[in-house]
Structure 1
């Protein structure tokens, strides 16, 4: 038998085009979990902004992260590297989860697929993740809501992330029901009563922009950044069918205003009380465009925006969960 010389090979040297093609076809959360096992150099070679994405729902127990996908109607779990007994998940955005260490009262961002962690200099009594902004797949800005225990003061804080260090670029007092999202070069911060657009780089409030039906105690709003601008979902909390009204931001003529719409084109929105994701899709897949997929007391539902009708799709186990969009970097 002829002797074959052994050559060293590295996955990170895989042809870039082939590597991108492989990752574009990673759809199910179980495939993301398997991808986590490959070498870090290979993962770091991935720079995708348009790979096929399938949101899933997640919750965490002491030892595992649990993910539920609508297409498989099954739970996928994988072990957490460190014991999660004294930690809890406070929210997620752009593939990162906000984790609290209950013992030390410290917080950090965690990508459960890659294991990447970003420490946050926050030790507040109450913390809520508003949004994370990515640049080439890497977190560059993070916006949080904090509440101090001693002074009971509530703030929105925006941090810039550079070389694993965080610099606060914006801070202001706010209402406790505040939500926010990054879009274009700005972030929109709003509550049920007020709202404003902030330029995230210098941290300057540009102009006020209240939600369309502000001062309505029976409605809650949720902004969602998209490639072309900003959407706003208003949720009627008195309606048992969880009906939504959708608004699109019109700021092309120098004055910003909300325009009610029943057509968001090829977009689909995934909503729970703790998360909101908006993606492009097509009707050939699992999710139908121009729809809102939501969670109610009856189970998973789909709201048809054009016809203003709702239907229940399935009823998963009644546990706490939030929408999560896996990220490869």
Structure 2
């Protein structure tokens, strides 16, 4: 019996014209991107992809780790931003710039001369927008800080500076489109909550409250614990929180003998109750959907439910270890889970590792605003 092999007709290979994707589908895809730098690259593919998306509606940005040049007269204009979400490093060139550190989505720039380093402006490296700071003080006396005034946009820079014997809080007010300066005690941590500035004094064991509009000192509150020193006040949707490390250890920078010691770092969280009638702090066993982020200068919070694949009830922190004192400090990222009371090391890029200076990388939330 003869058999005949019948060959199926060849199908014409179909090539997808990615440039012709429907705008609604392009918007869905753009929302799935891990970070804003990837969103910028997405919009740069072609005119159709750019037209289907808007700079005013980027994907949710999970905090990144930013590293900036050391300075001291040597000009290095490269910013490195590491995304924990995508595990990718993005670099940005800012010609003729010296950096001092981040505040929200901005980096503090300064001018260098032989006599002093003078403050200049805050720069958004993604949107390339500058806000000139009306100061004429050496940058040595300035600390960029994050107030957490707007937890979604994070677009209002602020700094603390020392002038002679006084300290000042200088912050940008979008409503006035101008900078506001406010004299404050010698403070280490400050949070903006309920239209007030809550601050922990550097030497005194107390928390002060200043009205944003009038600048008047309203009251002093007791600290969360007897050893609230170099700790953090964080404004959240669930109230004002205070965070400190257990066993009286210095919170940040945490100088560890070995990088493996990061797993021994544990934290306690307190919440302010019944302000202003009967103010007191209660210790929390869990913070629900919240994620807290700590570095050497700042503390802030976000909701885990806003990001796919992330779990709440935890604290992310950046610290440094002294495993290699002759070579430099080993910088690491840790994650403390309040439910299990355990800390794990978070994967980080090689450039974050050993450094020959003590300056610590910081959390940074890129923004296009």
For normalisation by structure 2, the TM-score amounts to 0.69
Q: Distance in 1 between matches of 2:26 and 2:271?
A: 37
Aligned to 1:131: 146
Shift, 1:289, TM fit: 1.0
Q: Does 1:250 align with 2:262?
A: no
Aligned to 1:325: 365
What RMSD over aligned residues (CA atoms) do the two structures have, in Å?
3.6
Aligned to 2:168: 155
Q: Between Structure 1 and Structure 2, whose CA radius of gyration is higher?
A: 2
1:34 to 37, 41, 66: 41
Aligned to 2:119: 106
Q: Which runs of 5 or more structure 1 residues have no equivalent in the other structure?
A: 1-14
Aligned to 1:6: none
Instruction: State the SS of the aligned residue for 2:230.
Output: strand
Q: Distance in 1 between matches of 2:57 and 2:242?
A: 29
Q: Does 1:64 align with 2:75?
A: no
Aligned to 1:211: 223
Instruction: State the SS of the aligned residue for 1:178.
Output: strand
Aligned to 2:214: 202
Conserved 8 A contact 2:293-2:300: yes
Shift, 1:261, TM fit: 0.2
Q: Does 1:188 align with 2:201?
A: no
Conserved 8 A contact 2:36-2:61: no
Cα deviations by residue, 1:120-175 (Å, 9 ceiling, x for unpaired): 111223111233534994856x5432112xx343333455355643243x313x22
Q: Which runs of 5 or more structure 2 residues have no equivalent in the other structure?
A: 1-22, 70-75, 255-260, 322-329
Instruction: State the SS of the aligned residue for 2:346.
Output: strand
* Higher strand proportion: 1
Conserved 8 A contact 2:272-2:279: yes
Give matches, 1:240-319, under 5 Å. 241-251=264-274, 254-282=277-305, 285-296=308-319, 297=321, 299-316=332-349, 317-318=352-353, 319=355
Change in 2 beyond 3 A, CA 1:96/1:283: closer
* Higher helix proportion: 2
Shift, 1:20, TM fit: 8.2
Conserved 8 A contact 2:270-2:284: yes
Conserved 8 A contact 1:159-1:166: yes
Conserved 8 A contact 2:27-2:52: no
Q: Distance in 1 between matches of 2:207 and 2:44?
A: 43
